[in-house]
């Protein structure tokens, strides 16, 4: 068995996510305590006590998901389960880098909190929206974006075959959704996000994030980590600060990331954090390639205990 951990990004958050884990495991509580001390804030309160609308604010979403993912990871580490490679969607790349010991939990929490704040506060003022277009080729989604002459919209997340996320001004995104349907899209879905993420509109946020990234220690990854920016593995020549700074204003190549993990021999994918979104992407990519893999997700006590039974039965092969 070769294990690949995948970590979710924004859009999967729900109030109270992971609360049963927090209540059952002291290791989970300890991770939240460490993050709280690093930030001087109460992440449990952010995760469990805010309204859904407040949690959906980028500055709150990112730290809540990151902390939950890292808390679950702590349990897996304690049980001696180690991945052979890891990746994350957008925000999730910071979880992957923490998993690979490139960045500490505390430094990761600080930079994630700042990243979310910059993406919220330094985005241009406006009415922004993101939406998933399902059942349409990448090129057709890009074509739909180009057809919008009045307003800003871009294709930004290439998640799997037949699913691309677009981002931009609300009216322009809605127009793309209409055009996509005319071009044959099976479904279009508005996402729970509030900015023109992964577009050039976040240049100011990118520059601010770069300045903060230059202050922290980023070590060489101890296991392969797959980059969003091109779907390839980080190597020792990469400028991690530059990549992570550009990350917030560049499209996410998650389908390519999954393909790279498959090429590394990963046959068991474990999604760590709220939701099953990435698990769905993996299944679709594997179906395209006619590959059978194990796909697990961990987001509560039941799914954690199920994953532990399976993963401990056949340990990772180095």
Q: Which residues are catalytic?
A: 90, 198
- Provide the Cα torsion 70, 219, 248, 75; round to 10°: -10
Contact call for residues 124 and 43 (beta carbons, < 8 A): no
- Provide the Cα torsion 272, 274, 277, 278; round to 10°: -20
Q: What are phi and psi of 150, to 5 degrees?
A: -115, 95
Structure-block tokens of residue 257: 């990331």
Closest C-alpha among 310, 301, 125, 109 to residue 212: 109
179 Cβ contact partners less than 8 Å away, ≥ 6 residues apart: 144, 147, 148
Structure-block tokens of residue 67: 């902390």
Spatial separation of the C-alpha atoms in residues 163 and 141, rounded to whole Å = 9
Q: In what order do the strands lie in the sheet with 153-160?
A: 153-160, 163-169, 128-134, 187-190
Spatial separation of the C-alpha atoms in residues 178 and 50, rounded to whole Å = 33
Spatial separation of the C-alpha atoms in residues 236 and 225, rounded to whole Å = 12
CA distances from 158 to 20, 93, 147, 255 (A): 33, 15, 19, 6
Spatial separation of the C-alpha atoms in residues 211 and 276, rounded to whole Å = 33
Contact call for residues 74 and 100 (beta carbons, < 8 A): no
Pairing mode, strands 163-169 and 153-160:
antiparallel
């Amino acid at each position: 068995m070769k294990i690949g951990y995948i970590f979710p990004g924004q859009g999967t958050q729900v109030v109270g996510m992971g609360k049963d884990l927090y209540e059952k495991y002291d290791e989970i509580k300890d991770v939240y305590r460490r993050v709280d001390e690093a930030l001087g804030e109460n992440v449990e309160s952010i995760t469990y006590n805010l309204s859904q609308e407040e949690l959906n604010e980028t500055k709150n979403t990112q730290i809540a998901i990151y902390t939950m993912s890292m808390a679950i990871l702590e349990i897996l580490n304690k049980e001696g389960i180690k991945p052979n490679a890891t990746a994350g969607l957008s925000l999730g790349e910071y979880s992957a880098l923490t998993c690979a010991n490139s960045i500490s939990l505390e430094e990761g929490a600080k930079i994630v909190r700042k990243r979310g704040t910059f993406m919220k506060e330094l985005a241009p003022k406006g009415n922004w929206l993101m939406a998933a277009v399902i059942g349409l080729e990448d090129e057709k989604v890009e074509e739909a974006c180009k057809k919008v002459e009045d307003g800003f919209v871009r294709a930004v997340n290439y998640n799997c075959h037949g699913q691309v996320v677009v981002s931009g001004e609300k009216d322009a995104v809605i127009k793309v959704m209409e055009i996509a349907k005319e071009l044959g899209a099976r479904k279009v879905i508005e996402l729970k996000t509030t900015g023109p993420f992964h577009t050039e509109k976040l240049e100011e946020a990118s520059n601010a994030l770069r300045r903060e990234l230059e202050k922290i220690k980023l070590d060489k990854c101890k296991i392969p980590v797959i980059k969003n920016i091109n779907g390839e593995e980080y190597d020792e020549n990469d400028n991690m600060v530059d990549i992570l700074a550009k990350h917030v204003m560049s499209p996410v190549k998650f389908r390519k990331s999954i393909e790279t993990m498959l090429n590394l021999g990963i046959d068991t994918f474990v999604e760590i954090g709220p939701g099953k979104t990435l698990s769905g992407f993996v299944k679709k990519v594997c179906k395209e390639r006619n590959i059978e893999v194990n796909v697990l997700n961990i987001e509560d006590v039941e799914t954690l205990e199920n994953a532990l039974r399976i993963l401990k039965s056949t340990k990772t092969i180095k």
